[in-house]
Structure 1
């Protein structure tokens, strides 16, 4: 009995962690697309109006962002139900947890058949580069090297620190704004 309780508790904790990370990543993608030239250039090549979703199968946590044009991304939330042009779906919560806790790189998870891409593979590669850039900027270098395929050699401390501060500041403000909206709607 105790063993099944601890397994279910661990499963709930992983689900909450993955959900929180998706929510953070959605806000962070929106934030970084406002000022990072590399992300803006990558996102500019996406079709305007493209909706990208990352989710856990069958009905796990998710995030959705839309390219609004000019390289700018807009976070659509964790409960987006509209049409999706491109999605990366983890086959199991445990697989998403491995990637989002930086125990496994995204490319390794894909190679290990832990995720499925629905949509244009070239656009999925572009979105992965955007996610890698985000991780390289906001994570400490030691952790980022575990998370991304190749740490950007041109990303120096003078670019990384202000970029990370900018992302975290914008994420904090947008998450507070969302919490206020949620509080007003209840």
Structure 2
């Protein structure tokens, strides 16, 4: 009896966590593209106007980011202004929770058939590298090493701390700008 009450609560808690993480990741993608030249260089290979979506199937939480050109991303929230070009889809909220709680690496989740890619594989690989770079900056090293395929060897503590502070400052700035215009 108790289990029947706890399971729906656990599902809703995971869903809220995934929604929150998608909001943070979307804003952080925009911020890291303004801060880090390596991310911009990686993103420049993507076509301008590319709409990237990460979501939970079939109609779960999502984030939508647009490559506006010159390596910069713009976070659109959970609504795409037009059809997306590249979508990474988790098959279930539990799978998204595993990845976004850093219990499972994205590459492992893909290998375990927990997610799908709809679009160009080369673009998905590029976006995964951008996400890995972002996670390397904003997460503590011990957590980031569990989250990304390979932690950047050249990323030293002073650069990590400075970049993380700049990314978080941009996230907060964008949040306040969004709140003022709403």
Residue 180 of structure 1, CA deviation: 4.3
1:51 aligned residue: 51
2:10 aligned residue: 10
Residue 3 of structure 1, CA deviation: 1.7
Residue 175 of structure 1, CA deviation: 2.2
Q: Deviations over 1:69-128 (max 9, x none)?
A: 100000011233621000100000000000000000000000000000000000000000
Residue 162 of structure 1, CA deviation: 0.6
Ranges of 4+ aligned residues in structure 1 off by more than 4 Å: none
2:30 aligned residue: 30
Q: In the aligned structure 2, how far is the partner of 1:97 from the partner of 1:58?
A: 15
TM-score, length-scaled by structure 1: 0.95
List aligned pairs for 1:77-116, cutoff 5 A: 77-80=77-80, 82-116=82-116
Residue 148 of structure 1, CA deviation: 0.2
3-state SS of 1:24 partner = helix
CA 1:81–1:7 in 2, change beyond 3 Å: closer, same or farther? Answer: farther
CA 1:10–1:81 in 2, change beyond 3 Å: closer, same or farther? Answer: farther
Residue 173 of structure 1, CA deviation: 2.0
Q: Say yes or no: does 1:138 pair with 2:138.
A: yes
Q: In the aligned structure 2, how far is the partner of 1:20 from the partner of 1:152?
A: 26
On the 8 A contact 2:35/2:167 being kept in 1, the answer is no
Gapped regions of structure 1 (runs ≥ 5): none
Task: Name which of structure 1's ranges 32-41 and 73-82 shifts more when overlaid on structure 2.
Answer: 73-82
3-state SS of 2:35 partner = coil
1:161 aligned residue: 161
Q: In the aligned structure 1, how far is the partner of 2:143 from the partner of 2:130?
A: 17
3-state SS of 2:55 partner = strand
TM-score, length-scaled by structure 2: 0.97
